[in-house]
Amino acid sequence: MKALSIKNPYAEQILLGNKTIEYRSWTPPQQIKQFLLVSSGTPSDTEFGLYFAHGYALAIVNIDRVSAKQNSDGNYQWHVSTAVPVEPFQVKGKLHFYDVDDDLIKPRTDLLESMTAFAAGEEATAGDLFVDEYYKPLVEIAAKQLPKKYSKILNDNHGDWSPVIDAWMDD
């Protein structure tokens, strides 16, 4: 399957349906209607994205449509939606589309309803399956990937990410 690496927090936002437009300076080949969403190995340097694992496959994403013209920033708008989360696995990303072995991709259709509930902020129990089996493990991986400075802050604050975000914003 074709994969596309996207920096966090944007990859996580696409996964949860909170970001439905991806901006790219190029259009996808017409035959590509879906791609494997991979969180890139490095987070955004303008938006806080350290709390979610980097370098992992997250979901199969639909390309619902692409704008015909570039916007004033020179980008095309890719309208995207999450088809299904996948069992996360490490992926070494590349620029543009790249191939990932289909045998590695394990769709988690059992998480769709719970993921939708979690993303919509519905009652706590409706999203528990997604949180426990998918989201929390990716946050735990992210904690292990933190630079030492931020790891120390997270540990000193007993897992509270707020001081980490504050320190990152101050840098």
- The stretch 142-163 carries a mean pLDDT of 89
Quote the pLDDT of residue 68. Answer: 93
Tens of pLDDT, residue by residue over 102-118, are 999 999 999 999 999 99
Give residue 146's pLDDT band: very low, low, confident or very high (50, 70, 90).
confident
What Rg do the C-alpha atoms of the chain give, in angstroms? Answer: 16
Query: How far is Cα 157 from Cα 70, in angstroms, rounded to an integer?
Result: 45
Q: Does residue 27 surpass a pLDDT of 80?
A: yes
Please return the burial class of 99, using the count of CB atoms within 10 Å of its CB with bins 0-12, 13-18 and 19+.
exposed
Structure-token match 């936002």, residue found: 13
Distances (CA, A) of 28 to 7, 45, 127, 129, 145: 18, 25, 33, 33, 31
- The stretch 66-84 carries a mean pLDDT of 96
Q: Does residue 43 surpass a pLDDT of 80?
A: no
Give residue 74's pLDDT band: very low, low, confident or very high (50, 70, 90).
very high
- The domains found in the chain, sorted by start residue, are 2-170 (2.30.130.30)
Quote the pLDDT of residue 122. Answer: 74
Q: Which of 159, 167, 111 is nearest to 135 (CA)?
A: 111
For the entire predicted model, the pTM comes to 0.88
Average pLDDT, the chain: 92
Quote the pLDDT of residue 102. Answer: 97
Q: Does residue 152 surpass a pLDDT of 90?
A: yes
